[in-house]
Amino acid sequence: MTIDEAKEFIRWGYDLGHRYCSDHQNWPPPWPNNTIRDAGPFRDTLELQLLGEVLSRASRGQSHAQIEEWVKSVVTPAPPETGELPAPDLRIRGARGAYLYPGDSNWLFSQRMVHTVQDSDILAWLETGPQQQSTHVVISVSTGLRPQLGEQPFNPLENDASEQRVRHVLELLRRAGKQVWCYACSQEFILQNNLTIAQIEDHMRGVGALVRDVACCLTPFRELGDVWGSSDMDKRNRVFRALRQGAPHTPLACHERAGEQIPVADFHGVSGPTVSALQTGFGMALDGGSYTIGGHTYTGAIDFCRQNKTRMANYSLAGQLEGEHVSGCFEASIPDVGFTSDHRTWAEAQSFGQALVDSGAADFDMSGAGVLAG
């Protein structure tokens, strides 16, 4: 067996595993193809067993077709996914989630769900306490490099295989009964790839088109003000317009830094539903304090959320928003993962989110999974 033959047979192993073995369908890039014949890392013994068997059979002269028939004969087929996938529920009011929980190895699972874990890991994560009580799951579909979170570079628009992987994971979550709230990318994806505003717009359009029939809401990336502040409002608006071009009817959300209200200018000329996805700050109390952030003063998280909700409602009445606007809490609590001393347990996060919604200041809570849908 020559080296070139071995590379070709490795590509066969990837191809057969990807098509017939459900646990092999999310290898990290680069994916082998007719040009790139690197199988990438093998991460468990089942993958190595498959590769060894393929190489052994190929070296004995069996064709790809013959080995394919053998794989089909020994693989237990996955149960068929019956029924048409229902359209996403675009009603964001009443949404509840546990975006930042739990505080163990699964913390911020959204940043690696698409490309670095097995389907079985995703389904097991959905069975954890916080996720069982969630109506929505947050997932980032384009990622950069953040080793502390296990985030690895991934571009969903890189090739057909990456697009198929994103579709597969989002449909897996939908069939598990969850609504999927997508970040079009992480900040790292934009900054580490040195993307221009025109390239970012192209990416937003592409991601919007890729997920629009599966996602219930689309957010460009976290804490928009970290990248573009008050001097770059045109860039912020261009990003939302590009997302709207890719996803004409999906709610579009802006997530900002802690205690920062959402600028209505983000949504100028953006038709359809829009969302304020507020971050209260992990150390902000519900009420009874004094917090001055971005030129606004609040007595606590309830006052902060209420002020944004009232302001956006006034903009809607004045005709400055072209569609329905929903304002709620996207991020309020963090588990004890060493990032800050201001953290809450899951039970505390539930209580905090429930109080925000019960007060009428927030239409949803995606931080604590403590809100009854409705």
What tens-digit pLDDT sequence spans the chain (374 residues)? 888 888 888 878 777 776 666 555 444 444 444 444 444 444 445 566 777 888 889 888 888 888 888 887 776 655 556 678 989 999 999 999 998 887 777 788 999 899 888 888 899 899 988 898 899 999 999 999 998 888 999 999 999 989 999 999 999 999 999 999 999 999 999 999 999 999 999 999 999 999 999 999 999 999 999 999 999 999 999 999 999 999 999 999 999 999 999 999 999 999 999 999 999 999 999 999 999 998 899 999 999 999 999 999 999 999 999 999 999 999 999 999 888 999 999 889 999 999 999 999 999 999 887 654 43
Residues whose CB is less than 8 angstroms from the CB of residue 301 and which lie 6 or more positions away in sequence, other chains included: 280, 281, 284, 285, 286, 287, 329, 332, 352, 356, 361
CA dihedral 312, 266, 111, 17 (to 10 degrees): 120
Q: Which helix (H) or strand (E) holds 215?
A: strand 215-219
Burial of 10: CB neighbours in 10 Å, binned 0-12, 13-18, 19+: buried
pLDDT of residue 35: 45
> Which residues face 137 on adjacent strands?
180
CA angle 24, 30, 31 (to 5 degrees): 45
Q: Which two tokens stand for residue 10?
A: 């490795």
User: Of 293, 227, 214, whose CA–CA distance to 260 is shortest?
Assistant: 293
Fold classified for 109-358: TIM Barrel (3.20.20)
pLDDT of residue 50: 77
pLDDT of residue 143: 96
pLDDT of residue 154: 94
pLDDT of residue 4: 82
**Cβ–Cβ under 8 Å, residues 168 and 139:** no
Domain coordinates of the chain in residue numbers?
A: 3-74, 109-358
pLDDT of residue 19: 65
Phi, psi of 218 (to 5 degrees): -130, 130
Q: Which two tokens stand for residue 300?
A: 């606590």
Its pTM surpasses 0.85: no
CA dist., res. 27 & res. 48, Å (int): 13
**Cβ–Cβ under 8 Å, residues 216 and 254:** no
Residues whose CB is less than 8 angstroms from the CB of residue 235 and which lie 6 or more positions away in sequence, other chains included: 197, 228
Q: Which two tokens stand for residue 282?
A: 């992990």
